[in-house]
Structure 1
Amino acid sequence: MTSWAVRSLVLLVLLASYWFVYQHGRSVESAECAAASAKQDSGSRLAEVIGERGARQEEQRRAQAQEEARAHAQEERTIADAGAADADPAGQRMRSDAANLAATVSCPGTDTAAIARGKAATRAAMVLSDLLTRADERAGELAKAYDRARIAGDQCEREYDVLTGRRQGIN
């Protein structure tokens, strides 16, 4: 072999060895990138699972707080209804007493002017008794409506405060 052929062969072997070293470096770098990417993906998935778990716990906490607010409102409605039921007989007694008073307002006697005044007083007492009865009934209706609206508003406020994080529990 000539020196030119030997040199060419040495050069070819040298170039081939550089090529194989380069390819080996690329495969090592590719493997390292794949490992780093897998590690990052694993960390991302772990963070996602932890985030989902936290979101589920927060959702459960909020749902429980809303249920507590509903239960509290139901208790308040029961108490208000019981109070209204207790007020109805008292109002009925008052209306009955007013009607009895109006019926007894009369002026017996022989004087026709006194009898006329007694009849006028009786009619006025009956009108006032009727007005008292209607006013008492309307006041009862308004009190019931107010209680229901107040309880619903309080429940809504509690649920909103829990959802926005202003309040952690139900008072």
Structure 2
Amino acid sequence: MVKFNAKVLKFEKNGEKSGWTYIEIPASQANKLKAGTKVSFRVKGTLDSYAFEKLALLPMGEGNFILPLNATIRKGIGKRLGDTVKVVMELDARALQLSADLLKCLKDDPDAMKYFKSLAPSHQAYFSKWIESAKTSATKTKRIVMTMTACAKKQSYSEMIRSSRELGR
């Protein structure tokens, strides 16, 4: 477990991460969580008093990582750009549960399943979390269809989102 303070930061222009709000996890802290790793891994803990789990630390090179802060987290911690947050985190080694509904659909399309399984577990989780976060069954169905189409086209999650925005969905 690590404990430290971090400043809430935001990428201006940084490829697909442009506009992301995040905190930086220095290599010294990341090594205490998972020594020597250079790839994404999951953590759990608290930001101030806001509890989280199954969040991925993303590698940024030279051993440093970031923890993206989505709108739900930002609202939960009540912090803005430049504010400091108290970080307490540890490795979250639990296996990720993928959307059962998505897996059922993928079974019906072996090529889509093959592509989906070729993705890194963290990338499979992007699709799954997005599907499971739907508030209505209609939205969940739409997201499953979009995911199946993306897998058929061999698109990553971010490619799927970008192309759906371009189509105005």
For normalisation by structure 2, the TM-score amounts to 0.17
Which of structures 1 and 2 has the larger relative contact order (alpha carbons within 8 angstroms, sep 6+)? 1
Q: Would you tell me which structure has more helix in proportion to its own residues?
A: 1
Q: Would you tell me which structure has more strand in proportion to its own residues?
A: 2
